[in-house]
Structure 1
Amino acid sequence: MYPVVYDRFDEQYKGMGLAVLENAQDVRVYEKLNGEHTLEMVLPRNDPKWEYIQTDNFIKVDGNLYIIRATEEQRDSNGKLLSNIQCEHIFYELLDGYIQHKELINTTAQMTLVDFLTGTRFTANAVSVQGNRDLEVEDVTVVAGINEMLKEWACEMKCAGLPGADGKFLVTLLPERGRNNGVQIRYRKNLKSIKKTTDARGVVTRLYPYGKDGLGIEGATQNKSGLSYIDSPRINDYRIPKKGSHTFNDIEDPDELYKAALEHLATVDTPRITYEVDMLELKALAEYGDIEGIQLGDTVRVIDEELGIDVFARVVEYERHPFDPWRSRVVLANFRPGLTDFLSELQDAKDIIKNITHRGKVNAYWLDGLIQYYSDKIRDSSEFAHAEIRDGKGILLQNANPESPSFGAMYIGPGIFAIANERVNGEWNWRTFGTGEGFTADLISAGRIRSEFIQIGPDTEFAEGYDPGNSVKQGVSYNRVFIDKNGLRVLDPSGIARLILGEYTKGKYGVKAVDGELYGTMIRTGSEGSKTYISLEPTNELKMVKDGKIVVEINAFQSDSSIFLYKDGQQLASLGSYSKNGELFGALRGTAPTRKIALSTGFSGIFVRDNGDMEFTGNTNTRHVFEKKIFATNGIESFGAKNAVVITENYGQRLLYSYEMPESKFGDEGVAELKDGICRIDLDPIFLETMEPNTKETPFIVHLTPYDWLNLRVKEIGDTYFVVEEKEGLSGRFAWQLNGIRKGFTNIRINTTFDESELDDTWEDEVDLASLEEALGLTGDVRDLEVEEITE
C-alpha cells in the first residue's frame, strides 16, 4: 500500500485520507531501540498531491502513523524539482506534552506511565515491568519523562502506530522487546554486506560498588572475601584489572547492593560488539512471507563462514525501505542503547557521572568517584614510579622523602595535571586534579572565589564565630527576591510582592501567595500533631477531622468524585454518582453498616431505610405534593384516606375517596339488554389478564341491577363471560358489576402493614387521629375543606 496522507485533525486514519502518494520515492523508515523512529521520502515537487504535504498532517506507512515535521525542496542534477519529506512517529506527539514537576515515591512503572500519559491520547501498559522506584522529573516533555523511566526500570519501549478501539495509542514498556523467531542473516542468502565493530572502551573487570551515603559491600552476606570490590570472571583476559566504580544511589542494604553490582558487572565486563548488516528482507518475497520477518529488538543469528562469524545478536537499529526491500539495513549488538544514547555519546570510558539520587540528595562519595576516575586516567597515561619524561605521556615530578616538608608529587600529562601528598600501598594517592573540564580537590583555599554557580554539599561547616545568616544582606533585592527582618518576598516585574514568607502582616506569620499558586504533597491546617484539622492529601482527598475522627471526606482519586459524611468516626452517607440500567444519577447514599439516609427540615422529612422503606413525616397540616406521577412497585400504605383531586365547575377543587375492601380486587361494570330472557356478557380480555381466574378459591362476584320489571339471576359464570337469565323469559335492560381477586393477591386479606416492631409502644400517642381526620377532610362538611392547588 502506498503512503497515505491524513489531515492533522483526523482521528480515525481510515480509508484513502486526503491523498495517496503513489509517486513517492526513496521511502525510508528508521527505528532505533529506545530511540528514534522516523520516516523520510521524496516526492516530485510538481505532484498534485504536494498541496497535502503540510506540517502536522499525518502519513501512514506499513500500519504506522508519522507526523510531518519538515520538508526540503531541491532540484536534482537533471533539473527535476524534488521535495524531501521528514516525519516522526506518532509517539513523538508527546514532545508537545509538558511535565512541570512530578515526584513519585515508591511507585510502579504502570502507575508512573499512566500519570505521565494522563491528558494525552496515549494509554499505558507497563504491567510486565516489575519493581517500585522513586522518580522525580521537572520541566521536561512527556518523552523525556518516559526516557527517565526506561533508565530507572532498565526496560524497553514500543508504541502502537495506530489507535485502538478507544481512539488511543498504546505505549508499552517491556523488560525486553522482541523475540527469537529463528531468523538467520546468512551470506549468499540475504546478507549483502557486513561490518563488525568491537569497542573495548568502558570495559570494567574490577568493580567498586557504592550504595546510598557511601555504603559498601564489605558487610554483604555473599561477599566471602570481605573486599570492597568484585572481580569479573573475565579479569584474566587482560594484562591488568580494568577498574571502575558504580553508585546505586537508592540502595541501603549491603546484600541488595552486592546483587545489583553483580548484575551490573555482567553488562560491562565484555567489549561492546555491533554488526552493521545490509540485507535483503526476505519477508517481501512471496515464497518466504512473514517467516523471515524481523522486528526491532528481535534476536537473530548472523552467519558468514568466510569471516568466521556465527553469533546471536539483537536488532538495535532497523532501517527498512518498504518498497525497496533489497536496501534494508540492520544494526545488531550485544547491549541495549538508551533513548538519548548517553553511554556511547556523552559518558567517558569509566562511566563517571554526577551521582545525584532522584530525590535530590547528593551522594557523599561523589568526590571519591571523580578521584578514582582521574587516578585511572593517570595510570593509563604513564608509569609514575620514577621521575621520568616520556613523549606523549607526560612529566612526573616527585619528592619521595617522607621526612621532607615538600614530600609529594605532581604529574603533568596531556590535558591533565594531578597532585598527591601521600602514598598508599607504595603508590601516590592522587587527590587533586585539573583538566579542561575543571578542578577537583579535597581542599581549595582562596581569599575570594567568583562564580556564576556554586554547588555546596550537605556537610558544609562554618568557621567558629561566623554567622551564616550574615551571608545574605538584608534589605537588598536579589533578582526580585527581597529579604529583610520580616522574612522573604518575591516581587513581580512591576515591583508587587507576589510571594511572602515570614511576617506577611503585623503579628501574623506564614506563607502568602498573591494571585499565585501553592503546590504541595500535603497541605494541612492546625498545629503539628493537632487532632482537629483540615488536610489536602496526596491521594486527592480533602479531609476534615475533629478530635482525631474524620467528619467529612471529599475525594477525587476515582473515576468520579465523592463526598463522605461521618458521625463519631463512622461513615454514614456519601454524595456522588449512581448508575442504574445505564442511566447516571447524582446520588445521596447511606453507607454500611446503617445504610440509612434522611432529608429533614426539623419539622418534616423523608427517611429511607436499608430494607427499602421510605417514610414521609410532618405535622398534622403537612401535605406531601408530587406534581408528576408516582410509581410504586411494592404497594402504597397510608394511615389516611387515598383521595383523588377533581376540579369542579362551580365548587373548585374537591376530594373524592377510594372504595377499599379487605382484599385487593379489580372490578368492571356495564349496561346490557336481555333478549327473550337471556343475555351473555363477554368480559374484556385485557381486564381478565389482571385478575385471578374464576375458581372456588377466587370466584368472580356479579351484581345485577334491573332497569325494567325484571326478575334476574346469574345463570352461569365462565372463564371469560357470564350469562344472565330472566325468570319469565322477558326482555329488558339491566346494569351489572363484576369483581375478582387481583392477580398475585390470592389469600391476602386484611394483611399487616410494615414490621410493627419498628414502632415503639407509644406510637398511637404520636398520631393525633382526630387532627389527622380533620386534615384529611374526614369530618365536617366536605364543601368547607380547602384543598391546596395542584398543577399538572
Structure 2
Amino acid sequence: MAKPQIFNRDMKRLAYLDNALAVGYGLETNSLWTATFTLPADDPKNAYCTPLNFVEIFDGDERIDLFRIIGEDMERSNGATRYYDCEHVLATLLSDVLFQYHQCGGSGVKTADVLNYILARQTRQNWKLGACDFKRYFEYNWENSTLLAALFAVPECFDSEYLWSWDTTVYPWTLSLTVPTEALKSEIRYAKNMTNIKKTTDATSIANRVYALGYGEGVNQLTIESANGGVPYVEDALSIERYGLCSTILVDSRYQVAENLKAYAEQILAGLKEPYVSYEIGAIDLHRLTGDKFSKFRPGEIVRVVDEADGINLRTRIVRVEKADAEGDPGNVTVTIANKTQDIAGSISDLQSRALISETYAQGATNQQIYNFSDNADATHPAKLQLYISDSVVRINKMLLNIEFEAFRAYEKAIGGGGGQTTSSGGGQTTSSGGGQTTSSGGGSTTSSGGGQTSGGTALESSNVLPSETNGQAVHNHGISQHARLATTSDGKTVDGYETFIWSGAHTHPSHTHRISAHTHEVYDHTHTVRAHTHTVKDHTHTVKDHTHAIEFGIYEGQRASKATIKVDGKEIPAPSSYSNIDIVKYLATDSSGKIRRNSWHSIEILPDNMSRIVGAVFAQTFCNSRGGGDY
C-alpha cells in the first residue's frame, strides 16, 4: 500500500508519510479536487507538511493525483492529531492573474490558441496545454481574473459537454480540454455493489426562458437580440408546456459579443429547464477490493444505476466521487450522479474570492458630445464636418444632425495692388481726314442789333475780359490768335495762296465806356472749304506707378440658401422635411459585420442651393468603455 509523499515546490521529494491516517479525497467533474489526511501531532514529518508544499495521494496502490497543502488543524483528545486539507495542484493557477484588461479570440483564433494565451501568463510554467478537442472562434474578455478562472470560463459558452482532465505524472504538468466519452464505464446495481441510494429533486431553480445580459449598463447593456432574430431571450417550448413559463435573467459582464452570450445562455437553459435531480449512492468499491474494473468510479464517466425495486434505471454521468478513509475503510465510496452537469459558476466565484479578486469588469459610461461647425458654401463647394469614432465606443445610441442657413458672409472687399506697370501705344499712327469738304452758308441773311447800348469800363462782355487785381481796370486778353486771308499784291491784286496775320498779348484799358449804335449785320452767301489733310499721333507710352490698394474691412452679407443636399460618408441622404434632428446613424459607413466603422473618420457634407453660410452641429450619444491608454 503506497503512502502519501511530500514534495517541495520544485518537485523535490522531502518525505514519505508512513504514519498518515484517514487519507480521503473528493473528485468532482470540472472543478478542483480535494484531499485530506492526518498525522500524529508528534510525528517529526509534520515539519515537511508546510503550506503549499505538494502531497501525492494514493488509494491503496493506485495513485489518485497530486495536491498541495492549504490548511492545517490540530485537535487534542486522547492524543493530539494534525488534520491537513489539500487541493489539486491545478490551484497553482490561482497564484497568477490576468491583470487589468485582456482580450483574446475571435475570427481565426481557435480555442487552443486562447488556452495557450492564458497559460503563457504563468510566472512559473507549471502547466502546458495537452489535447484540445474543440475548435471554436469565440472572443473572450477578462479583467483582473485569475488564470484558473479564465481557463474555466473558456468552455462555459460551448453548446456541448466538455471535460477538463490533466496529467501530473510529468512536469510541466499537462492540462487537456476534451469531449467526454459516452462509453459506459461502470455500473452500480442494487444487491451487487449498492449499499444505499438517496434521490434529491430540486425545482427551485427551474427556468425555461432565459433573458441574457452581458457587458454594459442600462440601455447600453449587451443583449442577444442581434444574434437571436431580435428576441432578447432563449426558451424551451417543451419545458414551458410541462411546467409553465418560468423566466430568469442571466447577467454576466464578461461577455461582450452577442453570439458568445447567446451560446452561454443556451447552455444555462439546458441546465435549468428541468428540475435538478441527483442521486447520492453509497457503493462498495469492488475495484479496490477485488480488482473489478467495471466497479471503478471516476468523475465525468458514464455509469449505469439499476434499482429494480424502486424502478430506477439510469444511465448518466458521474458528478462526484468521494472516499472518506482510503486506509481504514477502503471499500466505502460515495458516488453522486445528476441529470445535468454541475454549474461551476459558484466555484469560480469562490476561487476568485479566495484570491481576493472580485469581478471588477469595467462597465464604461454613457457619453454625450456635440460637434459644431460653420462655413460658407455653395452648390459645388460644401461645408464639411469630419467626425472620428474610436474603438472605445461600444455602442452608438444617437447621431443627430442640425442645420441652419444664414446669409453668405465676407469680411473685406478690396486688396493691395501688385506694383507699377508701363504699357506702350504700339507705335505712331496717322489718320486721314477722308478728303476735302465744302459747306454752303445756305444764303445771305440780315440781323438787327436790337438797339444801342452803353457799357462802363468795368463791364465785361466776354470771357476774355477780366478785372485787374491792382487797379480794377479792365484787362482784355487776346491770347494768341492766327487768321488767314487771300494774299494781295501792292497794287491790290489778288494772288494765289494765303497770308497769315498773328497778334497776341493782353491790353489794359482805362476806365471808359462804349456806345454801340443800333445797326444791322448783313451776311452774304458764302462757302467754307476744308482741304484734305491728315492727323499724326506719335509713338508714346503710359506709365502707372507702383501703388497699393488698402483693405477695406467689414462684414458683408450676401445670399441665403433655402435648402441643401446632405451627404454622409459620400452618400446622399433623402431630402429631409426639416433640418432639425436629422438621424444620420443608418447612413454612416459600416464594416463587414454591419457595425458603424470604428477607428475611422466619417464625413458630413452640406451643399446649399446657392451661396450661403451653413451653421451646423451633430449631437452624439455613445456608450464608451472605461479602458484606454495612459493617465495624463
TM-score normalised by L of structure 1:
0.39
Q: Which has the larger radius of gyration?
A: 2
Higher-RCO chain (CA-CA 8 Å, sequence separation at least 6):
2
**Structure that is richer in strand per residue:** 2
TM-score normalised by L of structure 2:
0.48
